[in-house]
Amino acid sequence: MPLIDPSPRWLGSLGEVGPLALGQWRSTTADVGAAGRLLDTALDAGLTLVDTADVYGLDWGGTGFGAAEELLGRVVAADPARRDRMVLATKGGIAPPTPYDSSPDALRAACTASLRRLQTEVIDLYQIHRPDLLTHPADVAATLTDLRTAGTIREVGVSNHTPAQVDALQRHLAFPLVTNQPEYSALHLDPLRDGTFDACLRDGVTPLVWSPLAGGRLATGDGVQPELLTVLDDLAAREGVDRATVALAFALAHPSRPVAIVGTQQPQRITSSLRALDVRLGRADVYAVIQASEGVPLP
């Protein structure tokens, strides 16, 4: 029986989003028209969740902190109807040169700055990008609660948090976290082993998995063990798709029903990514990928 569920995912009061999302980490072009066409392609294809962060643009050829949010804000301002078609997600809590700062004043300032750059009155999904080890989760929770009560943000999630860190934050919130955004791919299986996906299943949290193609390495094969490439290539040949499509399908084939964030800046790759929803991976296929990735047979 195929393990991939192509139906929409539920994000609390935000309603349904597609099983694939558009990621903005590499969105560093100066061409607003091209960025708009990419967004339109994604929205037309059902990639209704658009994931960005205030720190995006600080690398990957960007012009600096906030650049990706600013670009998305200009794209939406050029055609305001786009805003009504998307679930807008951004993240805060990284504060260069200090690594992380989710203290109340810093988090409020970060959210306010994101609203300004995105040219919107409300952020649909606001996530703590990485845990600030020096801020008490009760203070983070209080700030998020204030922002949500004020109508500045609608729903809350976390990114790159351990299960224990998620639990600590949730303990101080009167409303549920709706997302957890871990790295996950056929090359990075940590959420399978560290309790992240287990906690999502327990609490009804939707995982938003980033880098499902391991930064493109699963498509190119660069630095990937031959045994894993062989398994992926055999599955791709059987399914009549390319290796990247199988790798993307693998990221979706967990009962927590992840949303896989697609970071391509090529409209044709967005369209072709939809083929992952039709890949028929069974239990034996997924376990074969896991064993090839870890390099040891399962007991």
Residue 33 CB coordination number (10 Å): 10
- Residues with a catalytic annotation lie at 56
pLDDT value for 63: 86
Is 5 in contact with 257 (CB distance < 8 Å)?
A: yes
Question: Where do the domains of the chain lie?
Answer: 9-294
Query: What is the distance between the alpha carbons of residues 286 and 299, in angstroms, rounded to a whole number?
Result: 15
In terms of Cα–Cα distance, which of 60, 78, 135 is closest to 101?
Answer: 135
CATH 3.20.20.100 holds for 9-294: yes
H/E stretch holding 283: helix 283-294
pLDDT value for 268: 96
299 residues of the chain, pLDDT tens digit each: 789 999 999 999 999 999 999 999 999 898 999 999 999 999 999 999 999 999 999 887 888 999 999 999 999 999 999 999 999 999 999 999 999 999 999 999 999 999 999 999 999 999 999 999 999 999 999 999 999 999 999 999 999 999 999 999 999 999 999 999 999 999 999 999 999 999 999 999 999 999 999 999 999 999 999 999 999 999 999 999 999 999 999 999 999 999 999 999 999 999 999 999 999 999 999 999 999 999 999 99
